[in-house]
Structure 1
Amino acid sequence: MNSRVLVLNQDYSPLMVCSVERAFILVYLKKSELVRSSNGHKIHSVTQSFPMPSVIRLNRYVNAPYKGVNLTRQNIFKRDNNECQYCGTKKDLTIDHVIPRARGGKDTWINLVTACKRCNAKKGDYTPEEANMTLSRKPYKPSYSIFLKDHLNGQAGEWDVYLGDNHH
């Protein structure tokens, strides 16, 4: 079993992703409840069978530390769907500072975008407006729930309602 289970806090906010085994134990020990089973799949013991969890909810609220998404090159590529935010290509990608570093541009979610090397060189030390280049979408700081979607493994439909994505 390499399926993943979405764990919701008591208030139904997404908390984390765990293994099916761990989720099953949490339900079995009555520390959580099964919110959604995995499309008719079952877990079998010697004498019983149980619905395989896809989404569980903890019975007690867990005060989780704020879960932010780390600003890394890989996470910027992921947010931008691994495509140049100027021309749309998926080849030869790098990171571009919307407001160039030479002009005070910072390393922040809203100032960094995925760009191909060709567009990055063409833009140079200009803003997109000055270079007459248009961003396909405004850069934003992604929410933690967007990054939980990495663990979907084909469970997208089952989790969407709990991971409400406001950006698309």
Structure 2
Amino acid sequence: MVQVLVLNASYEPLNITTWRRATVLMLKGKAESLEENPDLKIRPDKNIPTVIRLRHFIKVPYRDIPLTRKNILYRDNNCCQYCGYKGLKLSIDHILPKSRGGPDTWENVTTACLTCNIIKGNRTPEEANMILKQKPYKPLSNLSFEATKQINSGLHKEWGKYVIGWFS
């Protein structure tokens, strides 16, 4: 299934939709094509769009990214933030342990391998003499988060110039 990045009139990413829905929006005059896939065609003279821009601005309320194991692992690139291990034996570590009042927030959780998580135990990284490779942060936009996955997987590299960094 070919996916299309939908941009607001201000070039801000709004949504990811199907090529059929994008084509309907263009035929109705509600959107214009900015990027097209030269390998896929709707008709012999028309390529399938991969990025479209709406002609009129749409106001969209802010949507928060859920704090889930999958999203934390993706944010940390499926890599232990203490030793750099990449593999299946990864867990979620609370920087300030929950037993010591540590909250379930983006800034207090990170990815750790089972070995590092056991070594760290009920201590902070400083107390355990363990250094984080990357400070935990909260991604800014749910759509940018999803679009970045598509860009990093190599499916839609052309989206990169429209989806500016989703992290702070």
TM-score by length of 1: 0.90
What is aligned with 1:164? 164
What is aligned with 2:147? 148
RMSD: 1.7
Q: Is the 8 A contact 1:110 1:139 kept in 2?
A: yes
**Structural mapping, 1:55-94, within 5 Å:** 55-91=51-87, 92-94=89-91
Q: Is the 8 A contact 2:94 2:108 kept in 1?
A: yes
Unpaired runs of 5+ residues, structure 2, are: none
Identity %: 45
What is aligned with 1:113? 110
Structure 1 distance, partners of 2:83, 2:101, is: 25
* Residue 166 (structure 1) shift: 5.8
Q: Is the 8 A contact 1:37 1:51 kept in 2?
A: yes
Unpaired runs of 5+ residues, structure 1, are: none
Q: Deviations over 1:69-92 (max 9, x none)?
A: 111111001101111111111231
* Residue 12 (structure 1) shift: 0.5
Structure 2 CA distance for partners of 1:132 and 1:86, relative to 1, 3 Å: same
Q: 1:128 aligns with which of 112, 125, 130?
A: 125
**Structural mapping, 1:11-90, within 5 Å:** 11-39=10-38, 41-44=40-43, 49-90=45-86
Q: How many residues align?
A: 164
The code of the aligned residue for 1:56 comes to: I
SS at match of 1:34: strand
Q: Is the 8 A contact 2:94 2:102 kept in 1?
A: yes
* 2:105 paired with 1:104: no
TM-score by length of 2: 0.90
